[in-house]
Structure 1
């Protein structure tokens, strides 16, 4: 059960990261989901998060696992991003973050 706990912890931390890049996890077409299709870099997402949601940014900056998850997420191709997002949605601890900050994926390219 250690693996399950670590997976849940990783997904929860990743959920925080995804919240910073996700704008509509319930999009009908995953290709239309800004989190899946974003072209923003890690530094752009973090800059947008710091500007738009300082409290969430503080949580994110204090969670190395979330930072790693976001880096991996942004480095992944869209189909893998979709899977990662779905996994994070299945973790209650991550859901609060996934739904927290929608506009960041739509505006991160300005940073």
Structure 2
């Protein structure tokens, strides 16, 4: 379950929050996805926010090279691709329970 979460949260967190080095996009996004899609946070900022928000989830995420790779891929994608990836994550039953955490990380990662 967490492996599925990790890959999917990597996609959303990456957009986050969850190396947002591309900066803010101009994609028109659902308000719930906007902070994830348009994050300006770097991968280290996302991970610092995740560690602060939920150390247990961060530990499980860090144990998954697949999740880490997916997050990097998400963060390296343009906003329109991030939107698609985040919507896929949002519609996944296994990842839905973590969406709130992903949104929190996206909203706070600029503080790290």
- Check whether TM > 0.5: yes
State the structure with more CA Rg.
Answer: 1
CA distance in structure 1 between the partners assigned to 2:82 and 2:3 by the alignment? 15
Greater fraction helix: 1
- Cα deviation, 1:20-70, whole Å, max 9, x if unaligned, reads 7369xxxxx517510000010111100111112111111111111111111
TM-score w.r.t. the length of structure 1 is: 0.73
SS in 2 for 1:39: coil
Alignment partner, residue 16 of structure 1: 9
Deviation at 1:10, TM superposition (A): 8.0
Is 2:55 aligned against 1:54? Answer: yes
TM-score w.r.t. the length of structure 2 is: 0.72
CA contact (8 A) 2:17 2:102 kept: yes
Segments of structure 2 that go 5 or more residues without pairing to the other structure are: 19-27
Report 1:17-96 matches (<5 A): 17=10, 18-19=12-13, 21=16, 30=29, 32=31, 33-96=34-97
CA contact (8 A) 1:16 1:97 kept: yes
What is the RMSD of the two structures over their aligned residues, measured on CA atoms? 2.6
Cα distance change of structure 1 residues 78 and 98 upon mapping to structure 2, 3 Å threshold: same
CA contact (8 A) 1:30 1:36 kept: yes
CA contact (8 A) 2:74 2:82 kept: yes
